[in-house]
Amino acid sequence: MSAATKGAPAGQGATLQEANASIRRQHIRHYAVAYGVLILLALFFIFPIAFMIAGSFKADTSVIADSGSLKAFIPEPFVGLENYQQAAERGNFWTSFRNSAIISAGIVFGGLLINSLFGYALARVPFRGKGLLLLIVVALIIVPFETLAVPLLLIMAELGWTDTLHAQIIPFLAQPLYIFLFYSFFLGIPRELEEAAKIDGAGAATTFFRIAAPLAKPAYAAAGILMFLASWGQYLWPVMVTRSVDARPLPMGIAEFQGLPPRDWGDIMAYAAMMVIPLLIVFIIFQRQFVRGVATSGLKG
């Protein structure tokens, strides 16, 4: 029984029971405040999503009409999946979804391979000229995409790539940021394993794919998740380079759908819901990996 607990009102002649009760009260207060604050903040972060979901089941005219009161969170009048159907038809949701999926898959898988190969080469393969290459890569990290956007658009036009999916994939496969991430990571893995492999007669390719890459899982996870989030949310580039429904990814899809008269807000909320919920579910299931990936990039960078 330790009487010297921190919050105890020391030396005021209180009985032990009273002291314990007071500590308990303080703890309860502390917990109440802590949870209270957390819950309030949670409400702040969740309410737009609740609004979106409720709105997606409401009749179009009610979404705005009810938007100023708590009725906004109640799917009344309930129209079932009608808004979702309309969003899919009038908004061409599934085409845009397919586009986004292809683009993100392309960028993530292609990008992980290309960037990690280069990062590995820079870190571990002694070859002529790599110092210079590394310098160039590092220098390019600072160049924001926006500086390149307009001339890149012109290049796309010259190549005849405007309004295509590959115009949204190929220019983004090689990214100095991720190359550097892999480079830093590969520098840190112990050489012994690779040396052992070399003694066994393994070539560089085998060493990479069998030894180095598996060791770099955290880097792949981090880079993969960031690439995915970035490509899934890309809006600026599609605005510039795509027009037709066949090439347009989801962020642009919803922006266009929102701007198209007549604006049926129920449909728009349904579109947003279809855009958001799959990713949300994936995130909730894989949240530890997501969070670790993001944190790794931050700490490593």
List of long-range contacts for 273-280, beta carbons under 8 Å, 24+ apart = 273/52, 273/53, 273/56, 273/84, 274/84, 274/87, 274/88, 274/93, 274/97, 275/93, 275/97, 275/250, 276/49, 276/52, 279/232, 280/49
For another protein, the binding residues in 258-277 under the rule CB under 8 A are 258-265, 268-269, 272, 275-276
Distance from CA of residue 224 to its chain's centroid?
9
Residue type, 257: F
Question: Residue 79, interface with another protein (CB under 8 A)?
Answer: no
Choose which of 60, 108, 222, 224 interacts with another protein (CB under 8 A).
60
SS3 assignment, position 58: strand
> Reduced to 3 states, what is the DSSP secondary structure of residue 235?
coil
- Closer residue to another protein, CB minimum distance, 16 or 46: 46
Q: What is the end-to-end Cα distance of the chain in Å, rounded?
A: 48
Site string for another protein, 226-245 (x = CB under 8 A): x--xxxxxxxx--xxx-xxx
Residue corresponding to tokens 């409400």: 43
Which of 78, 94, 109, 145 binds another protein (CB under 8 A)? It is 145
Which of residues 21 and 125 has its CB atom nearest to another protein in the complex? 125
Q: Contact letters (x/-) for another protein, 8-47, by CB under 8 A? A: -----------------------x--xx-xx--xx-xxxx
Q: Pick between residue 13 and residue 126 the one whose CB is nearest to another protein.
A: 126
Q: How many CB atoms lie within 10 A of CB 296?
A: 19
Positive or negative torsion for Cα 131, 135, 141, 143: negative
Pick 191 or 217: Cβ nearer another protein = 191
Q: How many CA atoms lie within 13 A of 69 on its CB side?
A: 6
Q: Which one of 7-15, 18-26, 212-220, 256-264 is the stretch in contact with another protein (CB under 8 A)?
A: 256-264
Residue 99 engages another protein in binding (rule: CB under 8 A): no
Is residue 98 close enough to count as binding another protein by CB under 8 A?
no
CA distance 272 to 180: 35
Nearer to another protein, 80 or 203 (CB): 203
Residues numbered 185 to 214 that lie near another protein (CB under 8 A) are 187, 203-205, 208
Comparing CA positions, the residue from 280, 274, 233 lying closest to residue 53 is 274
Determine contact, residues 252/238, Cβ cutoff 8 Å: yes
Residue (16 or 42) nearer to another protein, CB: 42
Taking the complex as a whole, how short is the minimal distance between the CB of residue 299 and another protein, in angstroms? 6
Residue 155 interacting with another protein (CB under 8 A)? yes
Which stretch in 10-18, 21-29, 54-62, 209-217 sits in contact with another protein by CB under 8 A? Answer: 54-62
CA distance 204 to 260: 54
The site that binds another protein (CB under 8 A) totals a number of residues, namely 140
Residues 54, 79, 108, 173: which binds another protein (CB under 8 A)? 173
Closest distance of CB 49 from another protein, Å? 7
Residue 207 CB, nearest approach to another protein (Å): 10
Compare residues 80 and 151 and give the one whose CB is closer to another protein.
151
Query: Under a CB-based contact definition with an 8 Å cutoff, are residues 231 and 252 in contact?
Result: no
